[in-house]
Chain A
């Protein structure tokens, strides 16, 4: 009996030491990404992941001197999968909000853009709560836009929730939706500038209320991995300083996507 106890104790302590050592020594960082949120994260026709988030992930990996792995994960399971250790950090245009901070630890922001509504050209003259009453508005489920819409217009509009932004675009062109609410850059590059987005326009003000839209998009890590957050923050500063960030930004946008 005593022997077994000793063996178990030894095994447990080895596992414990290995676990602690593994947490401190990041040789390889697995990033969870979405892959259906152009231009930040999308899948090319060849089936490869590409986009602003993906390039930032690669640049951060280089800056940290670690190997990286990209894991595509659907949005509404992206935090649970992080907590279940399917990957170590999320780079998926995730806004830093109080709600999410309860579950995960965020780095500093790596970009910040406002949210906006989109409607059919000329469909809404002037934006107001009354003007959009009863309209079918598409949002991506579990996003800050979903929460903002539910909290502010939940009783006034008919909210349709989608698993990916791409599905919302499909239904907008199919005529099932009157409006969309999403990140302005995602809407502009992922929809309005595309052939299928012709005939649609932005409507209403830039939405930046910190209560819902947070302080920009950050990288989410598990709460215990403070060292990883620190390293990622240092890496963000590094790519901001050495021009890598600007190079990536200019590949996708013609304006300052980092914000103030």
Chain B
């Protein structure tokens, strides 16, 4: 066991940390932005609207992330027509391919999480909104989505962590993320234990930060479920 090689190569890990952070945060943000409208449309009774989304979700949940990355990165590069198209400069970059695969993957999972939460909305809340004369848009904005987000949060925090761990696959397409850094250090010093243990510590720290953030969010979002402080004059309901 020789951890001096880790400290001597900490800059590789820090670059890896930067790349992992960028890849995961951007794909989660875009993925969530895509997933909200997709989830709303997915609950539509119109088959023509719901079916394509269903197919998209089925594909990205039904295939391993690694296969999706290989299809986008190596697969598309096989076609001359595609290489001549205006999209190629984007797809030429490993970074973009990874980002695209991660975004679509997390969008698919998040769509299902939010759809489940929307369908779990208590009928009473919807009826009350209808009785108050809300339009469909207003009802989604004020009643259904806020309460759906609350229900979706625990499942979504899982998705964030899965995405973080899934991002380690970026290292197979030449990107130096935390796992990629560990593989470089391992290959240079033949010390898999030190190299990958360090990567594990990095992932643990990020996961800890994510859990802390989600807990904070839960504390705020579930404020109405907490026992109220009745000690003050304006406390209580």
Q: Which A residues have a C-beta under 8 Å from some C-beta of B?
A: 76-77, 79-80, 99-100, 102-103, 141-142, 146-147, 150, 160-163, 167, 170-171, 173-176
Contact B183 A79 (CB under 8 A): no
The 8 Å CB contact of A174, one of B77, B183, B184, B190, is B77
Known: A80-B190, A170-B74. 17 other contacts (CB 8 A): A77-B192, A79-B190, A80-B186, A80-B192, A141-B184, A142-B186, A142-B187, A142-B188, A150-B188, A160-B174, A162-B174, A171-B74, A171-B174, A174-B74, A174-B77, A174-B92, A176-B92
Contact A176 B77 (CB under 8 A): yes
Taking CB atoms and an 8 Å cut-off, the chain B residues in 52-107 that contact chain A are 74, 77-78, 83, 88, 92, 94
- Least Cβ distance of B92 to chain A in Å? 6
Contact A103 B190 (CB under 8 A): yes
| Interface class of chain B by DSSP | helix
A161 to B88, CA, bound (A): 21
- What are 15 residue pairs bridging A and B, where the CB atoms are less than 8 Å apart in the complex? A76-B186, A76-B187, A80-B186, A100-B190, A103-B190, A141-B184, A141-B187, A142-B187, A146-B187, A161-B174, A161-B180, A171-B74, A174-B74, A175-B77, A175-B88
Residues of A with C-beta under 8 A to B172: 163
The size of the chain B interface, using a CB distance under 8 A, is: 17
A170 to B78, CA, bound (A): 8
A163 to B180, CA, bound (A): 11
Taken residue by residue from 190 to 203, chain B's Cβ proximity to chain A (1 for < 8 Å, 0 otherwise) reads as: 10100000000000
- Least Cβ distance of B144 to chain A in Å? 45
A111 to B138, CA, bound (A): 75
The 8 Å CB contact of B183, one of A102, A141, A176, is A141
